[in-house]
Amino acid sequence: MDHRPHRSSGAANSAKGAAKDAAHHAERAAGSPAAQGVARAGFVFVGLVHVLIAWLALQAAVGGRSGTADQSSAVQQIASAPGGPILLWAGVLCCAALAIWMLLNAVGRWRRYSKATKALGPAGTSLAYFGLTWLFISFAIGNQRNSSQQSQQTTASVLSIPFGGVVLFLIGLVVLGIGVYFGFRGVTRGFLGKDAQPTKGAPDWVKVVGSVGYVAKGIAVLVVGVLVLVAAVNHDPKQQSGLDGALKSLASEPFGGWILGAVALGLACYGVYSAARAKYAHFE
pLDDT band at 17 (very low <50, low <70, confident <90, very high): low
- Burial code (b: 16+ CB inside 10 Å, e: under 16) for 162-190 equals eebbeebbebbeebbebbebbbebbeeee
Report DSSP state, residue 239: G
d(CA 221, CA 182) in angstroms, rounded, equals 8
The average confidence (pLDDT) of the chain is 78
Q: What is the pLDDT of residues 3-12, one digit of tens each?
A: 555 555 555 5
Nearest to 148 by CA among 53, 244, 59: 244
pLDDT band at 26 (very low <50, low <70, confident <90, very high): low
Q: What is the pLDDT of residues 55-83, one digit of tens each?
A: 888 777 776 555 666 677 788 788 888 88
Residues 39-47, mean pLDDT to the nearest whole number:
87
Instruction: State the pLDDT at residue 269.
Output: 93
Residues 272-282, mean pLDDT to the nearest whole number:
87
Instruction: State the pLDDT at residue 145.
Output: 65
- Whether 191 shows a pLDDT value over 70: the answer reads yes
Instruction: State the pLDDT at residue 120.
Output: 76
d(CA 72, CA 145) in angstroms, rounded, equals 7
- Whether 192 shows a pLDDT value over 70: the answer reads yes
- Whether 35 shows a pLDDT value over 80: the answer reads no
- Burial code (b: 16+ CB inside 10 Å, e: under 16) for 210-236 equals bbbbbbbbbbbbbbbbbbbbebbeeee
d(CA 215, CA 71) in angstroms, rounded, equals 18
Start-end of H helices in 189-255: 204-234, 242-251
Residues 144-152, mean pLDDT to the nearest whole number:
68
- Whether 284 shows a pLDDT value over 80: the answer reads no
Cβ atoms 250, 12 nearer than 8 A: no
pLDDT band at 208 (very low <50, low <70, confident <90, very high): very high
Q: What is the pLDDT of residues 171-184, one digit of tens each?
A: 889 989 988 989 99
Q: Give the chain's end-to-end CA distance (angstroms, integer).
A: 50
pLDDT band at 236 (very low <50, low <70, confident <90, very high): confident
Helix 117-140 vs helix 33-63: crossing angle, to nearest 10: 70
Cβ atoms 103, 123 nearer than 8 A: yes
Residues 85-91, mean pLDDT to the nearest whole number:
88
Q: Which of 130-139, 189-198, 260-269, 273-282 has the lowest mean pLDDT?
A: 189-198
Report DSSP state, residue 235: T
Report DSSP state, residue 116: T
Residues 149-160, mean pLDDT to the nearest whole number:
77
- State whether residue 198 is helix, strand or coil: strand
Instruction: State the pLDDT at residue 20.
Output: 57
